[in-house]
Structure 1
Amino acid sequence: MKSMIKRLATCGLASWLLAAALPVVAQSVQITDARGSKVQLAKPPQRIVSLLPSLTESLCALGACERLVGVDRYSNWPAHTKTLTVVGGGLDPNIESIVALKPDLVLASMASRSLGRMEALSLKVVALEPRTYDEARVVLQKLGVLLNLPSAQGADRVWASIEADMAKAAASVPEKIRGQRVYFEASRGPFAAGENSFIGETLTQLHLRNVIEAKLGPFPRINPEYVVKLDPDILMAGKRSWSTGMPEYPGWAQMRAVKQGAICAFTPEQSDVLVRPGPRMAEGAQIIAQCLQRLAVKQGKSQ
């Protein structure tokens, strides 16, 4: 009996030692990006370069900021991103700088002109570019898959928080402002935020009506005279578009919204939040709601 126990113990120890010596099989991850390209990694990425601020912020919201080793020049939130290597712009990044960082994944915009070149250098590239709420949620889900996060820990948690905060922002919009017609300038050009863009969806959730119809596209470039004809109740833009905080296009000074001071001019920091379709969308809604509250007070005093 003793000899049998000894043999079993020896076999058990040998089996344990053999198991310990075997390499751990990493779990591969795979997604289909916005191009329809299937990207497969042998294991979840640990060194990531992000070339789009909304992707940078989404990655950090999922708890993976520490995996970032490089970002584009416009990625500036959260604070940790300011300590990382900057690899140029999202559209025309410095490829040599990216290669030097030895990333196992590069997150890029669909509009980047360097996708093919990076892939030719054997870099794993995932192209994602959310323009609507649905697309922003899909991006979070895809990033969660790449990071090998359970849904409850990843995209679902972040999205639930966005929806809860969005509802709070919507509830805070004064009744007298609801239903008013709004023009939102996303960037100078002017490029407007259309009804079916994520900014347009935010305006809808805040009980506002967007004067830029969905048929014009998410972010159409428009003629400034077109806005004059639409004559919106409220004008919104960042100070990067209107450096003085007031519209600077010919003829706009005569618009009703300008005469009545129904203008939301957002700071550069606020604009960063507002124009990025990621985890801070609800914060953007709150920024707009706060301006609407101020306009409601102003309208009350003028009556």
Structure 2
Amino acid sequence: MKSKKLIFFLLVLFVFVVSTPLLAQNFPIKYTDDLGREITIEKEVERIISLAPGITEAIYALGLEDKLLAVSSACDYPEEALAKEDVGRIDEPNLEKIVALEPDLVLAASITKVESLDRLTELGIKNIGFNPASINDTIDMIEDIAYLSSASRQGNELTSQMQAEYKRLKKLVEQKLENKERKKVFYEIWSDPLYTAGQGTFIDNLIQAAGGYNIAREAEGSWPTYSLESLIAADPEVYISSAHSTPDGLTLAELRQREIFREISAFKNDRLYLVNQDLVNRPSPRIIEGYQEFIKAIFPELKEEIN
């Protein structure tokens, strides 16, 4: 009996010893962010400030909201984030307020000026800049946020689900593209003047992943203006916009009524779509939903399989 108890004890001890490194976070952590800066995290992060909406969404999705001290004014999802301390604009946050809150870590996206982040570093506030350009980059960012916040288990669970759904959707797109040309797509960011997303942007990557061809890839710059003549000449087959593209909020009915666009194939064939811009513009856990919206716009026949 004693020998059986000893074996059982040793087995439990072995499992504990083997599993503990998987659960515990080893410090210090050395991390190189998307700006090429190396940051050292000496101890577990308990006080976080998020400057980007997508990062804030990730923090909530990981169940780390209790560690979230404050957010920028751009962070509006989930609704609970609106109750957090506001540290100002996403591009130029209030540095004095951030320093006064004494965060362990500030997380930012590329829209925050590098000068602001460098100044925070000078003031002794550790900060990390992310610049995801694709769905895979977004998944990696979420995994990294979880790792830096000692929440690797939650991170693995969330990103595994995202990867699985991304893989499933990508397979559907690949099957539709087999021996077929990509449909020409135009994405309207703003209506007057007409702004769109050019090559190398997050939107451009998302259109490509969804099986379309972004006609704005041929324009100059990441966020080019587009003339009516250029739009008619490019003749997109799918036209995507959002309610946020006009000051008063665009509706699908209003989009259909644009007489000056009547010669464009997308308007002739009623291939006009409105998407939630927060789903497709933000690198967040909801990017898979944004990906679904783009696929449904480009391949409406896949709607039932996607849902």
Shorter-chain TM-score tier: 0.7 to 0.9
Alignment partner of 1:136 is 2:142: no
1:203 to 179, 204, 207: 207
Give the structure 1 partner of residue 264 of structure 2.
255
Change (3 A) 1:168 1:223: same
Describe the SS at the equivalent of 2:30: strand
Unaligned runs of 5+ in 2: 1-24
2:227 maps to amino acid: P
Give the structure 1 partner of residue 197 of structure 2.
193
> In the TM superposition, what is the alpha-carbon distance from 1:57 to its structure 2 partner?
1.7
Give the structure 1 partner of residue 227 of structure 2.
224
| Pairing of 1:47-126 with structure 2 (within 5 A) | 47-113=47-113, 114-126=116-128
Give the structure 1 partner of residue 285 of structure 2.
279
Describe the SS at the equivalent of 1:285: helix
Unaligned runs of 5+ in 1: 1-24, 298-303
CA deviations on 1:140-173 (whole Å, 9 max, x unpaired) are: 23323311343xx254433332233335556499
Distance in structure 2 (CA, Å) of the matches to 1:27 and 1:80: 31
Distance in structure 2 (CA, Å) of the matches to 1:274 and 1:119: 31
Change (3 A) 1:172 1:35: closer
Describe the SS at the equivalent of 2:216: coil
**Greater helix share, structure number:** 2
1:231 maps to amino acid: D
Change (3 A) 1:214 1:55: farther
Describe the SS at the equivalent of 1:213: helix
Describe the SS at the equivalent of 1:212: helix
Describe the SS at the equivalent of 1:30: strand
Identity of aligned residues (%): 23
Is the CA contact 2:45–2:150 (under 8 Å) kept in the aligned structure 1? no
> In the TM superposition, what is the alpha-carbon distance from 1:52 to its structure 2 partner?
0.8
Describe the SS at the equivalent of 2:137: helix
Is the CA contact 1:262–1:295 (under 8 Å) kept in the aligned structure 2? no
Distance in structure 2 (CA, Å) of the matches to 1:240 and 1:204: 22
Is the CA contact 1:194–1:214 (under 8 Å) kept in the aligned structure 2? yes
> In the TM superposition, what is the alpha-carbon distance from 1:175 to its structure 2 partner?
6.2
Which structure is larger by alpha-carbon Rg, 1 or 2?
1
> In the TM superposition, what is the alpha-carbon distance from 1:198 to its structure 2 partner?
3.5
Describe the SS at the equivalent of 1:74: coil
Distance in structure 1 (CA, Å) of the matches to 2:219 and 2:271: 26
Is the CA contact 2:204–2:217 (under 8 Å) kept in the aligned structure 1? no
Distance in structure 1 (CA, Å) of the matches to 2:295 and 2:269: 18
Distance in structure 2 (CA, Å) of the matches to 1:202 and 1:78: 23
2:261 maps to amino acid: W
1:244 maps to amino acid: L
1:237 to 238, 241, 263: 241
Is the CA contact 1:131–1:197 (under 8 Å) kept in the aligned structure 2? yes
Describe the SS at the equivalent of 1:69: strand
Larger displacement relative to structure 2 (114-123 or 199-208) = 199-208
Is the CA contact 1:173–1:206 (under 8 Å) kept in the aligned structure 2? no
Distance in structure 1 (CA, Å) of the matches to 2:124 and 2:242: 39
Alignment partner of 1:265 is 2:274: yes
TM-score (norm 1): 0.74
Distance in structure 2 (CA, Å) of the matches to 1:252 and 1:103: 50
Is the CA contact 1:29–1:148 (under 8 Å) kept in the aligned structure 2? no
Indicate the RMSD between aligned Cα atoms, in angstroms: 3.4
